[in-house]
Structure 1
Amino acid sequence: MPVELTGKVALITGGSNGIGAASARRLASLGVRVVVADIDADQGKVVADEVGGVFVRCDVTQPADSAAAVETAVREFGGLDIAFLNAGIGTGCSLGDDFDVERYRRAMAINLDGVVYGVHAALPELQKRGGQIIATASMAGLMPMPGDPVYGANKAAVVGLVRALAGAYSDIRVNALCPAFADTNIITPLRSTLEDIGMPILPVSAVVDAFMSIVEGSGTGEAWFVQSGRESEPFAFRNPPGPRAADGSRVEAAKKDPISIALKES
């Protein structure tokens, strides 16, 4: 049965172009009221006007901006149901001779801190309505990306964060979207190389299709891969070996997240 989205409220960071803008259009076509959040005010306002939503300038590296974006959704539309934490950039440096501290810090601030700040800001409102968080990670968060190890690191962190949050909050859903190289501005420096080696470039519509599968689904703690020539679905993580007692028996308390229990009791 199709999920009824009419009247729902979505906040999209990085909503002025690429995956964010396309997702805003798809959601709006289904009756969702959209807050477009981006550092690019000119293009962000264009997208917001197009989808009948509102724009808010948001630098995701600043916690106050994420808080203001959530406040905008509540003020303009009465609440929040979907937080699509999508803003991201490439790193453009390795850890070798071309390592650049400023590029590294900026990439981590946008790709990881931006998700953390967005979750923190959106969580109270989402819990009121049983909403959901979708964070844009990448296939680089599921497999090695030697060409940009810093990007791989922050995207893997997003996947790990999503999986942990899903276990920590049972009243909302939290999932990750993990596309391969999609036809967006982020691949501009790589496009000719990708074409030369025959690497498929995903149409943005394919990524949005996977995004909508998450929105309309029921899973949580999942990382949906989007790869050319394959149907998108949650990546099947192999369970790591859990703790065992000296006699080899499983430690059942491990299933209850003893770290969280200890923190709550301390």
Structure 2
Amino acid sequence: MTGAVTLITGGASGIGAATARRFHRAGGRVVIADRDTAAGEAVAAEVGGLFVPTDVGEPADNTRTVTATLEAFGRLDNVVLNAAVPGRCGLHDFTVERYRYTLRTNLDGVVYGLHACLPPLRRQGHGSIAVMASIAGLTGSPDLFYAAGKHALIGLTRSAAPALAADGIRINALCPGLVDTPVLAPYRQALRNRGLHLAHPDAVAAAVETVLAGPGTGQVWAVQAGQHATVVPAPEVPLMAD
């Protein structure tokens, strides 16, 4: 990561902030994109990076953030599409507004971020993208539409990898389990009382670094508390002739 420029969405807290700090310690330069201006500016100041107020659900915000990155540092090497929110509804309390609130960040925000970062990465002829999915995208979750969005990110990653390979761009997904972030803070003790282990954000940040620096593309990595990050094989589905 020495000298590399990394754009991190949702970088003001949790996994995103831990990743920013880790890359800074490794000698990298970091851009924090987040809706939380106070926290984003604080993390950026801590790591000597750039903060850009960003709502990833708005395509123009993603384009503006990439432009600001290039203006500040002249290049973009890595992108961590990490911004996410918990689901706002399920099937029993469904509303279009709550459903769209979840998917506009968790799925649309990744698609818009990917679209915005591709032009400079293609011009450079290289780049590495990490998509933050979830274990919920490999199994399921009571948070239905959160899980649905994360399943979609895994499909997006595996499908985009071959299309981007010719441009020298790699894309991989990470699937953390329970992580000790501000989102889970109200439930931390209850989860521990049930015997569930929470990973530290630094452990996920270490996995992000491994994935960005590695040679693979189209891979999906599971990141669980107390375990090494491992690649989850894609299911083999035989193609049926007509």
- Does the alignment reach a TM-score above 0.5? yes
Bigger mean CA deviation after superposition, 194-203 or 133-142: 194-203
Instruction: Look up the match of 1:149.
Output: 144
Quick one: which of 233, 236, 241 aligns to 1:236? 233
Identity of paired residues, percent?
46
Counterpart for residue 250 of structure 1: none
Provide the residue aligned with 2:106 in structure 1: 111
Q: How far has the Cα of 1:192 moved from its partner?
A: 4.2
Q: How does 1:12-23 map onto structure 2 within 5 Å?
A: 12-23=8-19
- Superposed displacement of residue 190, structure 1: 3.6
TM-score scaled to structure 1, two decimals?
0.86
Residue correspondences, number: 239
- Once residues 22 and 227 of structure 2 are traced to their aligned partners in structure 1, the CA distance between those partners, rounded to angstroms, is 22
Distance 1:195 1:93, change over 3 A: farther
TM-score, length basis structure 2: 0.95
Residue of 174, 179, 182 corresponding to 2:176: 179
Matched to 1:27, the amino acid is F
Shift of 1:209: 1.5
In structure 1, which of residues 3, 7, 10 is the aligned counterpart of residue 3 of structure 2? 7
Structure 2 counterpart of 1:263: none
Counterpart of 1:161? 156
Kept in 1, the 8 Å contact 2:161–2:170? The answer is yes
Instruction: Tell me the distance in 1 between the aligned counterparts of 2:230 and 2:120.
Output: 28
Out of 219, 224, 242, the position equivalent to 1:222 is: 219
Distance 1:194 1:211 in 2: 25
Match in the other structure for 2:204: 207
**Gap runs ≥5 in structure 2:** none
- The 4+ residue runs of structure 1 with deviation greater than 4 A are none
Larger Rg: 1 or 2? 1
The corresponding residue for 1:127 is 122
CA distance in 2, matches of 1:92, 1:107: 6
Partner of 1:248: none
SS in 1 for 2:99: helix
CA distance in 1, matches of 2:240, 2:3: 46
- Unpaired runs of 5+ in structure 1? 246-266
Q: Distance in 1 between matches of 2:10 and 2:233?
A: 28
Note if 1:29 corresponds to 2:25. Answer: yes
Q: Write the distance in 2 (CA, Å) between the matches of 1:243 and 1:101.
A: 37
Letter aligned with residue 165 of structure 1? A
Rounded Cα–Cα distance in structure 1 between residues aligned with 2:184 and 2:155: 24
Counterpart of 1:42 in structure 2 is 38
Q: Which has the higher contact order (CA 8 A, sep 6+)?
A: 2
CA-based RMSD of the aligned residues comes to: 1.3
